[in-house]
Amino acid sequence: MIELTDVSGGYRGKKRVFDVTVEFTRGSVTCVLGTNGSGKSTLIKLSCGLLPLISGIVSVDGVKLSAMSRKAIAQKIAYLPQERDIPDITAEKLVMHGRFPHLGYPRIYSEREKAITCEAMKTAGILHLRSEYLSDMSGGERQKTYMAMMIAQDTDAVFLDEPTTYLDIARQIDIADIVKTLRQTNKAVIMASHDINLALSGADKIILMKEGRILAATSPDLALESGALEETFGVKALSLTDETGHTHYVFARK
């Protein structure tokens, strides 16, 4: 649904991503992997229209992103930034803000909006936190609240910038479960991540980035077999199979 064609872009006119061509499709999870500074976040921001393109085209369902209003983009694409301030607001109000792009003026939150908000909080597993302030929450609860806001925004594409960084392992699994739910509801989920196991087990497609370019965009299996993953990070992968037949990977210095 989102196509990038020869896209270059970066900050203040300085390119951080070079001539990238890639497509994100509905009902699939795409994981963008790469070392720090490889351009993952830049690629995501360019795809969401949050950074101006230096060259190339980003289109959503055939419509150029540059021809769409901010509001029209927000009805199609949700974005979870990597770092945020902690607003002084309750979970329920924040999640309700997810409906903002769908409301006309004046902004009246109807029963329907409230129902969607409530459902989103259920999906993210934070309904019991609805009247808690974000400032009083743990990092994991806060992250799930932001996920609930994105669910309430109800867009076809969802971009997550390192959603599991700084979270404990149980919270990481919670976030992975929410991502699976989003995939089941036929959304295109694109996330930048440092969690290779999460990418290998949960993603349909892996994009490997190095120095602002895409090294490979392929299935998790192929990314491993071709050695592209090892090359990207300069490590070697060892596979282990547990008693249930699941394969896990550990990585070691080459």
Partner 1 sequence: MKQSRIFSTPNSVFIMLAAMALVASIFVSLCSGSTGLSVTRTFHGFIEGSATPAGRIIYFVRAPRTLAAVLAGAALAVSGAVLQNVLANPLASSGTIGVNAGAGFGAALCGVFFPFSPALPAGAFFGALLTILIVYELSRRVGAARVTLVLAGVAISSLMNAATNSITTLVPDALPSVHAFQVGGLSGVSLKALLPAGLYILFAFAALIALNGELDILTLGDESAESLGLNARKYRFAFLTLAAVLTGAAVSFAGLIGFVGLIAPHVARIIIGGGDSKALIIMSALCGAAFLTLCDTAARAMFAPFELQVGVIVAFIGAPFFLWLLFSGKGRRKL
What is the contact surface with partner 1 in residues (CB under 8 A)? 48, 50, 69-75, 77-81, 84-85, 87-90, 93-94, 97-98, 100-101, 103, 105-107, 131-133, 135-136, 153
Task: Find the Cα–Cα–Cα–Cα dihedral 239, 230, 183, 6, rounded to 10°.
Answer: -160
Give the shortest CB-85-to-partner 1 separation in angstroms.
5
Task: CB nearer to partner 1: give 71 or 128.
Answer: 71
Give the shortest CB-6-to-partner 1 separation in angstroms.
24
Task: CB nearer to partner 1: give 10 or 220.
Answer: 10
SS3 category, 38:
coil
Task: CB nearer to partner 1: give 89 or 237.
Answer: 89
Residue 253 parent element (H or E): strand 247-253
Give the shortest CB-185-to-partner 1 separation in angstroms.
19
Task: CB nearer to partner 1: give 145 or 232.
Answer: 145
Give the shortest CB-149-to-partner 1 separation in angstroms.
8
Q: Are 20 and 210 in contact (CB under 8 A)?
A: no
With tokens 């309430």, the residue in question is 152
Give the shortest CB-64-to-partner 1 separation in angstroms.
17
109/116 Cα distance (integer angstroms): 10
CA 226 to chain centre: 25
DSSP-derived pairing of the beta strands 28-34 and 77-80: unpaired
End-to-end CA distance of the chain: 38
Task: CB nearer to partner 1: give 73 or 217.
Answer: 73
